[in-house]
């Protein structure tokens, strides 16, 4: 088989058209994907209004360190004790007005107190906290940079955290889940407003020259044991959300990829019905290979070596073998699997040897013409142990 370029390889994997090898999604060199991130608005002035006093901007540190975005510092933040505020425990606010708690270490933090306490104030809230994505300066840095770095790469434009994540942070997670029963009309209105914002962002990536092949959205829809809601409830509230985002992507001749943590097998069939092109799972074993097997050949799955167990706690040899089990259990011999390298390896403390073993495993087991035919029919383990990696199939049938 002739070697494909990155765009061809990803497209072949997405459509089960026989890629030459497993496509790779990294945020460093050696990636088939080039990921675009938009910058915050230069007109955003966090911490200036009275109700934002004490709140720092919620953005990646490197944007300020490398002068990609400048904070118009309010008077209260000019105190010398805040000189190196990235290293302090603090509260932050993002462009959607949601609050984050930061511990003074280099992580994305976690959602804090609710910012939209009352649905009756929704109009006022969005008057103050609706990001304007129709600003060319948000996109120009990445678009210009990609002209040299993204040649023949599959261009993936990030939409950031999705409507479910943002709405739950605005309202407060527990109340948000209850509102699927207690305040249905208001919650649907909130989700509709957020969805329209994301649709606008999709269109702006195209308008300002990113020439995307796909979009990625980050929405965690489940916990360790299952999704946050029944399939029936998920369809009622989230079909209008995801169907509109998926249809918009397709109308723009792009794919939509969804990052999702949690055990979500109960709702994947709905996402497939709505036209989703790919899922990205940091911990595929959280959902489970047995549970995911029913979707092989129906949707592409990007997977990392399970970050909750094997990638972080296993041996390099186990990480290498796990690559084959991902290729076998998440994809088909015609494609459907992509290797996702978790970007914040310092956050999860993945050993460098295991990261290197991921690459080695792809070299050994990710080239399709080199995979023995009988490996595809070798019996699959019935009961997977979460932190154990089964042996490889026999060399000879």
For the chain, domains (ranges, CATH) are: 6-39+119-376 (3.20.20.210), 50-111 (no CATH)
Query: 63 is written with which tokens?
Result: 């944007």
Q: Taking a C-beta distance cutoff of 8 angstroms, is the pair 13, 6 a contact?
A: no
Beta-carbon count within 10 A of 185 CB? 9
The pLDDT score that the predictor gives to residue 301 is 98
The pLDDT score that the predictor gives to residue 146 is 93
Q: Taking a C-beta distance cutoff of 8 angstroms, is the pair 168, 111 a contact?
A: yes
**185 to each of 120, 192, 202, 330, 365, how far by Cα in Å?**
12, 11, 26, 38, 50
Query: What phi and psi values does residue 37 have, to the nearest 5 degrees?
Result: -125, 135
Nearest by Cα to 131 from 186, 70, 211, 193: 193
Please state, in angstroms and rounded to a whole number, the distance separating the CA atoms of residues 151 and 145.
11
Q: Tell me the mean pLDDT per 10 residues along the chain, length 397.
A: 92 98 95 97 96 96 93 96 93 98 82 94 96 97 92 96 97 97 98 98 98 97 95 98 98 98 97 98 95 97 96 97 98 98 91 97 97 95 89 90
Q: Which residues contact 279 (CB under 8 A, 6 or more apart)?
A: 257, 258, 259, 260, 268, 271, 299, 300, 301, 302
Please state, in angstroms and rounded to a whole number, the distance separating the CA atoms of residues 66 and 84.
15
Nearest by Cα to 361 from 393, 322, 329: 322
Please state, in angstroms and rounded to a whole number, the distance separating the CA atoms of residues 362 and 341.
12
The pLDDT score that the predictor gives to residue 397 is 80
The pLDDT score that the predictor gives to residue 127 is 95
The pLDDT score that the predictor gives to residue 148 is 86
pTM for this model (two decimals) = 0.97
């Amino acid at each position: 088989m002739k070697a494909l370029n990155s765009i061809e390889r990803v497209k072949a994997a997405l459509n089960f058209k026989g890629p030459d090898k497993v496509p790779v999604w990294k945020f460093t060199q050696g990636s088939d994907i080039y990921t675009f991130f938009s910058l915050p608005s230069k007109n955003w002035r966090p911490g200036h209004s009275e109700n934002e006093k004490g709140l720092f901007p919620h953005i990646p540190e490197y944007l300020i360190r490398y002068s990609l975005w400048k904070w118009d510092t309010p008077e209260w933040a000019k105190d010398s004790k805040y000189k190196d505020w990235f290293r302090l425990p603090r509260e932050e606010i993002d462009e959607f007005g949601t609050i984050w708690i930061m511990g003074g270490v280099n992580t994305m933090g976690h959602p804090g107190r609710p910012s939209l306490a009352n649905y009756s104030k929704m109009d006022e809230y969005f008057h103050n906290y609706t990001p304007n994505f129709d600003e060319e300066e948000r996109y120009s840095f990445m678009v210009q940079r990609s002209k040299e770095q993204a040649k023949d790469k599959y261009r993936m434009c990030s939409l950031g955290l999705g409507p479910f994540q943002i709405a739950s942070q605005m309202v407060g997670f527990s109340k948000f889940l209850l509102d699927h029963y207690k305040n249905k009309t208001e919650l649907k209105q909130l989700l509709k407003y957020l969805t329209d914002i994301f649709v606008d962002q999709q269109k702006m990536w195209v308008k300002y020259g990113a020439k995307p092949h796909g979009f990625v959205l980050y929405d965690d829809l489940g916990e360790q044991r299952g999704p946050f809601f029944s399939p029936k409830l998920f369809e009622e509230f989230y079909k209008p959300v995801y169907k509109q985002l998926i249809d918009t992507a397709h109308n723009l001749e792009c794919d939509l990829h969804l990052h999702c943590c949690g055990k979500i097998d109960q709702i994947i069939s709905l996402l497939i019905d709505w036209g989703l092109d790919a899922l990205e799972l940091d911990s595929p074993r959280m959902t489970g290979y047995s549970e995911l097997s029913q979707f092989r050949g129906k949707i592409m799955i990007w997977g990392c070596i399970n970050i909750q167990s094997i990638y972080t706690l296993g041996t390099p040899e186990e990480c290498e073998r796990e690559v084959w089990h991902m290729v076998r259990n998440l994809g088909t011999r015609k494609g459907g699997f992509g290797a996702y390298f978790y970007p914040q390896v310092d956050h999860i403390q993945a050993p460098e040897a295991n990261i290197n073993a991921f690459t080695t495993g792809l070299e050994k087991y990710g080239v399709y013409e080199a995979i023995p035919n009988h490996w595809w029919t070798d019996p699959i383990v019935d009961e997977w142990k979460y932190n154990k990696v089964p042996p490889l199939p026999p060399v000879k049938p």
